[in-house]
Amino acid sequence: MNTATITPQISRDKFGPFRSKRLPVVLILFVLAIWPGALGEMTRGLMVDAYTQVAAFVATTLLIFYGVERLFNFELGAALRNSKGWQIPISALLGSTPGCGGAVVVVAAYTSGNVSFGAVVAALTATMGDAAFLLIAVRPDTAIIVLPLSFVVGILTGFIVDKVNKTDYRGNVAATCELAPRIGKIRLRDYAYVATVIPGLAIGISQLMQFDLEATWGLLLPITGLVGTAIGLLIWAVSPVQAMTNAQDAPFTRAAEETSFIAIWVIGAYLAYDYIVAFSGVDLKDLFASVAPLLPLMGVLIGLIPGCGPQVLVTTLYVNGLIPFAALMGNAISNDGDALFPAIALNPKAAVMATLYSTIPALILAYGFYGFAPGFG
């Protein structure tokens, strides 16, 4: 059997260390942040919120996860290969963990012949991608329902698919894949980013405890949020990483890189929502209420779009009370986040078919909640 190895290439462009497609985004955000008057003040406030409410929690979670993984030298691929009858539950568990890494590991294991196709479906059904970080940070009461429910649905869907699906999508090529370039030693910016996480996490926790942030933290609040955001934007602007980091890199580096990637989507979603509310004159609540029966379907369909940006936006709409829990639940089940990009690179047929299979339980749950528990969540 042939083995195809996919090796990422670090692109170089005329901006040198900066990535040409990312640099304009950073410049636009910088201009918005320093703009005089209400626009600049709002932008800076939203950047502080994005960092203290989401990014600091994401970085802490990733540091713990990657630190434990490094400490115990735990290899997920080997665990899946040796798990036999537990492959589907383990795959669903990997998928339901925040972020996209677990789902990609399962797809790679399937392509290498180590797990069943049902395990892939279980992982992609259970995953909420990076949107899970936002939900955990802002609405933990909802996350504690959505993530376990997605896990259970992933397991059930995986077992059913293994019973009914008789097609092997692996073909005759097994792929081994290093999806991310190796960065190497910990950089100064990694230490700087993690250093801002400490006060950022403390501020975020105090906000959850409903402290008066300005009275408690004073100037440390905007300084922490804006400095953390600035470092994250710099990391993202020069990073060769698409979404996931190389497993051989240090936890500090992986947390800084992946949190910066997630934070850019959160900032975008926060700005998009608040700008529309403040400057467009459109009443989003009335607009969405006018198409209420279609919202669960829209959540499911948006979930089919690869990438975390659309899914983070759906979660942002939910936490702001604009869409019902049914739409969020449908999106959570149908979306694969950034996991779909490397999954397509590894095995496009398996990735597409698994996504289509996950649409069925997504529709069932979305309209189940809409019809029988419309006020839930």
Q: What is the pLDDT of residues 292-338, one digit of tens each?
A: 999 999 999 999 887 777 888 899 999 999 999 999 999 999 998 76
Task: For residue range 145-191, list pLDDT tens digits in order.
Answer: 999 999 999 999 999 999 998 888 876 544 444 556 788 889 999 99
Among 318, 325, 336, smallest CA distance to 368 is for: 325
For the chain, give the mean pLDDT: 85
Structural domain count, the chain: 1
* 377 domain residue, yes or no: no
Is pLDDT above 50 for 107? yes
360 is a domain residue? yes
Which contiguous run of DSSP H or E holds residue 79? helix 76-83
Residue 315 included in any domain? yes
Output phi, psi for 11, to 5 deg: -75, 145
- What does the pLDDT read at residue 256? 94
Is the whole-model pTM more than 0.75? yes
* Domain, as residue range, for 235: 2-372
What is the percent of the chain where pLDDT is above 70?
89
CA distances from 314 to 160, 236, 291, 306, 309 (A): 28, 23, 15, 14, 9
Question: Is residue 279 one of the residues assigned to a domain?
Answer: yes
* Residue 213, in any domain of the structure: yes
**Does residue 272 lie in a domain region?**
yes
pLDDT digits (tens, 9 = 90+) for 73-87: 766 666 777 777 899
CB atoms within 10 A of CB 227: 17
In a domain, 26, yes or no: yes
